[in-house]
C-alpha cells in the first residue's frame, strides 16, 4: 500500500483544473530534493530553529497530497526542532526521506490521471 490516500487525493482535487494539479505536483517534485538536503544540513548542524521551520514547511506541502505517514514524520521533526531535541533525529529524518521518496514516486504515477 502506498503513502498517498489516493481516493481522498482525487476527491480533494476533482474540481481543480488538471493543469493546476500537475503544476502543484511538479513544483513539489522539483523542490523536494533541495528541501531535504537543506533539512539534512539543519540536522547535521543542529540548527533547531531551521529544523522546525523547514520540517513545518515540508509537512504543509505533503499535507496537500493526503499522505499522512510522511506528514506525521515531518511533524515529529518539527517538534524535535521546537524542543531542541536531537535524540533520534537522524533516524526520523531517514524515515521521512524513505516515505517522502515513495510519495514522489506515487505522485509521478498519479500525475498520469490528471493529464
Please write the tens of the pLDDT for every residue from 27-49.
Answer: 999 999 999 999 999 999 999 99
Global pTM value: 0.94
Please write the tens of the pLDDT for every residue from 76-93.
Answer: 999 999 999 999 999 999
All domains of the chain in start order, with CATH: 6-110 (1.20.120.160)
What sections of 17-88 are H helices per DSSP?
Answer: 18-44, 48-63, 68-82
Those residues whose C-beta lies under 8 Å from the C-beta of residue 71, and which sit 6 or more positions away, are 59, 62, 63
Amino acid at each position: 500500500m502506498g503513502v498517498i490516500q489516493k481516493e481522498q487525493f482525487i476527491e480533494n482535487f476533482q474540481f481543480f483544473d488538471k493543469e493546476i494539479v500537475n503544476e502543484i505536483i511538479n513544483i513539489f517534485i522539483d523542490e523536494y530534493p533541495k528541501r531535504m538536503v537543506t533539512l539534512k544540513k539543519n540536522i547535521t548542524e543542529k540548527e533547531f530553529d531551521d529544523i522546525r521551520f523547514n520540517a513545518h514547511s515540508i509537512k504543509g506541502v505533503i499535507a496537500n497530497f493526503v499522505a499522512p505517514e510522511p506528514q506525521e514524520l515531518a511533524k515529529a521533526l518539527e517538534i524535535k526542532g521546537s524542543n531542541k531535541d536531537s535524540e533520534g533525529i537522524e533516524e526520523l529524518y531517514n524515515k521521512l526521506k524513505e516515505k517522502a521518496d515513495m510519495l514522489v514516486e506515487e505522485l509521478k504515477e498519479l500525475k498520469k490521471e490528471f493529464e
